[in-house]
Amino acid sequence: MSGLALQNITKEFGTFTAVKNVSLTVPHGTFVCLLGPSGCGKTTLMRMIAGLDLPTGGAIKLDDADITRVPTHKRDLGMVFQSLALFPHLTVGENIAYSLRIRGVGKEDQKKRVDELLSMIHLSGYADRPVAKLSGGQRQRVAIARALAISPKLFLLDEPLSALDAKLREAMQVELRQLQQRLGITTIVVTHDQREAMTMADTVVVMNSGEIRQAAAPVEIYRRPADTFVADFIGMTNLIDFTADSTGRAHALGSPIEGLAVPGGLSRGVLSVRPEDVHLTAPGHGAMAGRVTFVRDLGGTIETFVEAGGKQIVAVSMPHARPDVTVGQDVGIKLSPDTCVVLKS
């Protein structure tokens, strides 16, 4: 199979296990985001793919060749570091040409390739500038161009956009995704920003405590989270405890939820309901009873906080469907069964 395969990768630092038995396949040409809170092992996993750390167990294969023990400099990678790691003693052009120079590419060919890459990142004519004179966004682009200079088999980016301000970061996310699709290069990005992951990735890999919790397409991750951690980590959600009676009917917040089928044998669990799937109605009529505690109007969306059964539930609505409620008012909550994800607690 062409692409990258991680087989039962484990990494221990002394008594601490940073990555636990991780397996993952990344088909050729796909864009994968490793997403998780800090300390979840995503950076360690990427460093092992790059050969900067060696796994204590498992194997890494690239296009069916075992590269687990191949030193970094023989892996033909392109990597963008969190700090960007642009060489301060070299110019923009020299930075981009570095991997070509190491491989003994002729001066003329180096220059041609550098010009090509500079035009790709919209920085034509910047070859002779010192990197210190560039803006944050420009440095970012140079780091990307430098990593792509040899057309690597694998393009790795470790929190590449974290140093940029919010606006620029969003623009770069789009640009990076378009670039990857144009080049068709296998790409892995480490990030803690779920918006970034959702924007760019074909597959989002959610990690926590050194393990993969779910690996799936962004919408799938959002709509069908595999467990409460993923549900809670990706976007906003309401996690509501439920119990099921012998007929498989679910009860939550003191009311039954009509039409929700609970898998057999599960007597209690958690429902994940996205705030936009929580509908507020008039109290009664079989709806769960709640009381409004706070309303936050963000202009584009309106968030209504409702206390129900000792739990805080958030409902999000668009301005055209603004709920007519005030703080302290009693309301009813309606959940439609097809938007409730049943999870083990």
Partner 1 sequence: MNVFLKRLYLGLVGLFLLLPLIVVAGVSVNEKQTLAFPPQGFSLSWYGEIFANPEWRSALLASVTLAAVSAALALAIALPLSWFLWRRHAPWANVFQLLGIAPFTLPPVITALGLLTFWATTGFYGQPWTAAISHAIFFVTLPLVTLSLGFSSIDRSLVEAAATMGADDRTIFRTVVLPLILPYLVSGYAFAFVLSLNEYIVAYMTVGFTMETLPIKIFNALRYGYTPTMASVTILFVAIAALIFGLVARFGDLPKLLGAMSNNEK
Footprint of partner 1 on this chain (CB under 8 A)? 50-52, 71-79, 81-83, 85, 87-89, 98-99, 101-103, 146-147, 149-150, 156
Q: Is 145 helix (H, G, I), strand (E, B) or coil?
A: helix
Among candidate residues 193, 131, 188, the one with its CA nearest the CA of residue 161 = 193
Tokens 């302290």 map to which residue? 328
Identity of the residue, 104 or 310, whose beta carbon is nearer to partner 1 in the bound complex? 104
Q: Which two tokens stand for residue 123?
A: 């920085």
Identity of the residue, 79 or 306, whose beta carbon is nearer to partner 1 in the bound complex? 79
Measured CA to CA, the distance from residue 120 to residue 185 in angstroms comes to 15
Q: How far is the CB of 164 from partner 1 (least distance, A)?
A: 17
Residue 329 and residue 292 in contact, taking contact as beta carbons nearer than 8 Å: yes
Q: Which two tokens stand for residue 34?
A: 């490793």
Identity of the residue, 18 or 149, whose beta carbon is nearer to partner 1 in the bound complex? 149
Identity of the residue, 18 or 212, whose beta carbon is nearer to partner 1 in the bound complex? 18
Identity of the residue, 147 or 302, whose beta carbon is nearer to partner 1 in the bound complex? 147
Measured CA to CA, the distance from residue 182 to residue 331 in angstroms comes to 51
Measured CA to CA, the distance from residue 193 to residue 308 in angstroms comes to 31
Q: How far is the CB of 162 from partner 1 (least distance, A)?
A: 13
Q: How far is the CB of 29 from partner 1 (least distance, A)?
A: 20
Identity of the residue, 98 or 305, whose beta carbon is nearer to partner 1 in the bound complex? 98
Q: How far is the CB of 156 from partner 1 (least distance, A)?
A: 8
One DSSP character per residue, 215-236 reads EE-HHHHHHS-SSHHHHHHSS-
Identity of the residue, 25 or 82, whose beta carbon is nearer to partner 1 in the bound complex? 82
Distances 57 to 20, 41, 54, 190, 205 between C-alpha atoms, Å: 9, 15, 9, 21, 20
Q: How far is the CB of 100 from partner 1 (least distance, A)?
A: 9
Q: How far is the CB of 73 from partner 1 (least distance, A)?
A: 5
Q: How far is the CB of 69 from partner 1 (least distance, A)?
A: 15
Measured CA to CA, the distance from residue 143 to residue 85 in angstroms comes to 8
Q: Which helix (H) or strand (E) holds 295?
A: strand 288-297
